Every structure is written in structure tokens, then in C-alpha cells.
Structure 1
Amino acid sequence: MMGWAMLGLVALVAVILLVATRFPKRLWTVAATGVMLGAAGYAWQGSPTLAGHPVSIEKKGGEVDPGLAALREEIFGKYGTAVYTYATAAESMVRVGRPDLATVVWLGAVRKYPEDYSLWTGLGLALAEQDGNQISPAAKLAFDKALALHPTHPGPPFFYGLALVRAGKFAEARPYWAKAVELAPEKISYRDELRVRLFLLDRLLAAQAGQQQAPVQP
């Protein structure tokens, strides 16, 4: 019963937050879905009466997220840009199961265009993916370079935040995603998607904080 009560409470709070923050109504479904899934998971984990069972996660290699690729194209540009050309080549390497060669593609890109912030961003993400979604010193160096080259573009902080989220460093990712939303022009096509991701990250952080503060049942 407590799990269902918690689920209802989180849903109510989510609706209030959506209204209070004037979140775009056309995106309410996306935000609500994420919040409800997160709330359900939290309620399940917080119920000591539920029997646990092992969950098997099958790791699939050689896949490229088309939604993320489309978002990258919106943020950095598509036809006629160096990042699109190199990203296409790198993704073809990932699809054949060679993420190491994808990294080689990005390394060649930054050697040829060392002042291109979008290419350094791609290199940082590729290095993190190759290292099992961990932020290695090399990946951090690439992201830092991208941020330094174009500190007012939302792309580098967004993808650095994405790499941190994949590494499970949610609190560290939050300021980068907030910065990306802040830097994105008000009427740019992808700004709402960045806001949705930040909104869901905030809900996850709030759920984690609530779980840590909850009293331990004897």
C-alpha cells in the first residue's frame, strides 16, 4: 500500500511542478511517462515486503541510437558540416562492432580540424563509450577542450552531461545539462528536448535524495 501511496504522491507533485514551471503542454506526456516510470521503480525498491529477483541485462553491441544521432544533427548541424561527415563514419564503425575504430575516426577528425568544438565533443563521447561509459582522463580532456573552444554553445555541455549520466554520475551531470538549456536559444528546435532531459534528471535526483533520507525500517 505504501508503494501505491508513494506513486500517487509523486504523480501529484509532478503535475504541480509541470504547471508551476510552465512546462510545454505538448511535452507533458514525455515528462509524465518518465516520472511515472521512475516513481514506480522507486516504490518497488522501497518496499521491503516485495521479494527480490535477479534481472538479466543483455548488452547489445554495435547499435547507434537514431534519436540521439538526430539530436546531435540538430545541435551541431547536418549536411556540409565536418561533424556530420565524421559522425557518419564513426557510427558505421560502431555498427560493425568496432568502437575502437570509431574513436580512431574522431581522433583523425580533431587532428585535421583542431579548433572544431563539435569534433572534440564527438571524441569525448566516443572515448567514454569505448571505456564502458566511464569518463577516462582522455575523455574528460576532449570534453574540456570542446567547452573551452566554444563556451557559449549548448552542444559540449549537453554531451558531457550525457556521458556523465551514462557513467551514473547524475549529480555531476546536472550543472552541465542546466548550462546546455541556458545556452540553447529560446526558439531553437531542440531546446524542449534538452529541457525534458533536465526535468527527468531532476526528478531522478529528487527520488534518490528522498530514498537516502527515508528512515530504515527495522
Structure 2
Amino acid sequence: MTWVLILGAALAVFAGLVFLLKLPRAGWELVGAALLLGIAGYALQGHPGQPGSPREAVDVPEGAKEEQIAERQAMGAGFGKGQSWLIIADSMSRRGQYGSAADILRSGIHESPNDPDLWVALGNALVGHSDGFIGPAAQFAFQRAATISPEHPGPPFFMGLALAQSGRLAEARTIWAELLARAPAGASWKDDLEQRLARLDAMIAQSGPAAAPAP
């Protein structure tokens, strides 16, 4: 009976992604393989007959991962069309599975190479996979998104965020200052960026001359 329920749940998830979330056909095999891999793992390690061990519920506060996803979604409205890929990748990123999220996003980019939101999300996933540090691949992803859609605020915002997290404060400030200078007056993200830039200036001031931009 347990296996019937597991297989039924897997089919329901696959059907939901395909028919409700309109998962592109190119992603069917990847999602199916992921579900089969999960079932195989349960077959090897699962113990459905073992008594449960109830635990008290823990109230987990909303973390930085959820905030970052929400910011990217707000900034990316209307810029890209790869929403079905982003939904799957965001779900994996929320669980800290950044490598898997990056793989999903690469598949989406293969199908829609000019979608800036997919490139921004890939950059974020690669930064997460590197424990918050920006590497050449992530930097390329952000730059590619900016090239595709120069007016999109997401690429410079998240590249600046990744640079700041990596300790490259002066570079982050330059990018954010340029973004703020061209921000529309009514942009929903402008106030947040101003606050972040002010905090970044305070961090640079505390770090001393070494972190300040070169003249």
C-alpha cells in the first residue's frame, strides 16, 4: 500500500508540473528522472514499517533565501518568459539544493537563451552553491542577463549583492550606485536599494581605506 501511495504521489506531482504549471516538454525527462531517483533512494534507504518519532513543530522564520527569491520575482516581472523553469528552480533553492537548481536553469536557458530572468536566477543559484561567493560563472550569468536586457534592475542588483557578500564592497557600491542613478522615480525597489546602499557605505567606512573605491 505504501508503494501505491508513493507512485500515486509521484504521478500527481508530474501531472501538476506538466498540465497546471505548463512545464515545457524539454523538461519532462529531467523532472521524471528526478522523481524516479527519489523513489529509488527511498527503495534503498526507506523503512515504512518503522515506528515514527514525533517531534515538536519548530517555527522557522523566513530566511534570506525566501527574501532573495521574492526580490528577484518582483524585479523580473515582465522581463522573461521562463516561469515554469523558475518555479522548479526556486523550489530547489528554498531547500538549499543550489546545484540542482542551477542544472534546471541551464535546461531552461538552453530552451530560452534570451530570457534574462533565467540568467539572473542561474547567477543566484551558482552563488548559493559556492556558499555566498561569486565566481566567474555566476558573474558571467549576471553580465549576460544585463546584456540581454539593459533596463532590467535584477542583474546589477544581484551582482552587487553577490559582490558585497564576497567582501568586494567597493565593486558592489559602484554597481548599486549606477543602478540607483537610473532607477525610475516610482520603482518599487528603489527605497530598498537606497537603504542597502547606505548600509554598504557604513560597512566601507568601518573597513577603512582598503575597501574604498580607487580614485
1:188 aligns with 2:196: no
Cα-to-partner distance string for 1:166-216 (whole Å, 9 max, x where unaligned): 21211111111112212321111111111111111111111212799xxxx
Hey, what's the Cα distance between the residues in 1 that align with 2:175 and 2:85? 24
Please tell me the residue identity of whatever aligns with 1:187. G
State the TM-score, normalized to the length of structure 2. Answer: 0.62
Q: Counterparts in 2 of 1:154-165, with a 5 A limit?
A: 154-165=153-164
The aligned residue for residue 67 of structure 1 is: 67
The aligned residue for residue 76 of structure 2 is: 76
Hey, what's the Cα distance between the residues in 2 that align with 1:166 and 1:98? 19
Larger radius of gyration, structure 1 or 2? 2
The aligned residue for residue 93 of structure 2 is: 94
Cα-to-partner distance string for 1:66-124 (whole Å, 9 max, x where unaligned): 3222222221118x953544332112113444221011111112111111122111111
State the TM-score, normalized to the length of structure 1. Answer: 0.61
RMSD of aligned residue pairs (Cα, Å):
2.6
Identity %: 35
Could you say if the C-alpha distance between residues 64 and 113 of structure 1 is closer, same or farther in structure 2, counting changes exceeding 3 Å? farther
Q: Counterparts in 2 of 1:112-123, with a 5 A limit?
A: 112-123=111-122
Higher relative contact order, chain-length normalized (CA < 8 Å, sep 6+): 1
Cα-to-partner distance string for 1:106-158 (whole Å, 9 max, x where unaligned): 11121111111221111111112112222222112111211211223221100
Hey, what's the Cα distance between the residues in 2 that align with 1:119 and 1:70? 14
Gap runs ≥5 in structure 1: 1-62, 213-218
Gap runs ≥5 in structure 2: 1-62
The aligned residue for residue 174 of structure 1 is: 173
